[in-house]
A = this chain, B = another copy of it.
Amino acid sequence: MKVFIIHAHPESQSFNGALTRAAIASLVEAGHEVKVSGLYEMGWQPVSGRDNFTTVKDPSYFKQQLEEVYATEQNGFAPDIQAELEKLDWCDVLIFQFPLWWFGLPAILKGWVDRVFVMGKIYGGGAWYDNGYFKGKRAFCSVTMGGPAAMYSESGLNGDINQILFPINHGIFYFVGFDVLPPYLVHSPVKLSDSERQARIAEYALYVLGTGSRAPIEYKRLADYNANFVARPDGKSS
């Protein structure tokens, strides 16, 4: 496997850091290849705007998708975006490693998606969902969060973690064609004992090796929808 890890945590000594280092070591030892974009370490700039481009299609009105399509045609992406696009093309597996902040991606990682998943090259013109650009590749979230599992259950105070991650799993990964694997979750790492933490890190080191054989989340397919993008009554449940 060629594995691309997007790592988003401001403290390299964090549990998130330990998970990414364990994944790299385990994958490399098993003969896989790994690239990592450590967003804090790279000083990634997450604000999407004219800086995304070296080209300008319309100088009087900034419409991002229009500029993205033009930059796709003209090779007009800023070097930081171009480098990420090349790593995405290279990989078979994409992993987002992050702490759940306000029930979503840290801004630095949301802005990696906002800037790198460009219309033209990555989606548009019928390329989306199971006909998406990354069809045949796999992606998943590896997430730490501050409360116990029960709090993130369907009847838990914070709501179902699968509902919370739906905009990422379905709206980001599946939208661009990835097969989406179940998330790897660690609850309240700060409350674990040292030996519990080591056990979870060892578990994750094994977990990443099973990426190729893990069953993806079953989402509906484009063929399950009518011309108005509403599911046909006989379609599978999502």
Contacts and interface: CB of A to CB of B under 8 A. Distances in A.
Contacts of A11: 61-63
Contact of A106 (B13, B50, B114): B114
Interface residues of A, number: 55
B102 A167 contact: yes
Nearest to A49: B10
A111 B8 CA distance: 13
A107 B110 contact: yes
A233 to B, nearest CB: 9
Interface of A: 10-11, 13, 40, 44, 46-50, 61-64, 101-108, 110-111, 113-114, 117, 129, 147-148, 150-151, 153, 155-159, 163-164, 166-168, 170-172, 175, 220, 222, 225, 228-231, 238
A150 B103 contact: no
A106 B48 contact: yes
B167 A104 contact: yes
24 contacts: A10-B48, A46-B47, A48-B101, A48-B107, A48-B108, A102-B171, A103-B168, A104-B171, A106-B114, A107-B107, A107-B108, A107-B110, A110-B110, A148-B228, A150-B229, A150-B230, A151-B230, A153-B230, A156-B229, A156-B230, A157-B225, A158-B171, A159-B170, A159-B238
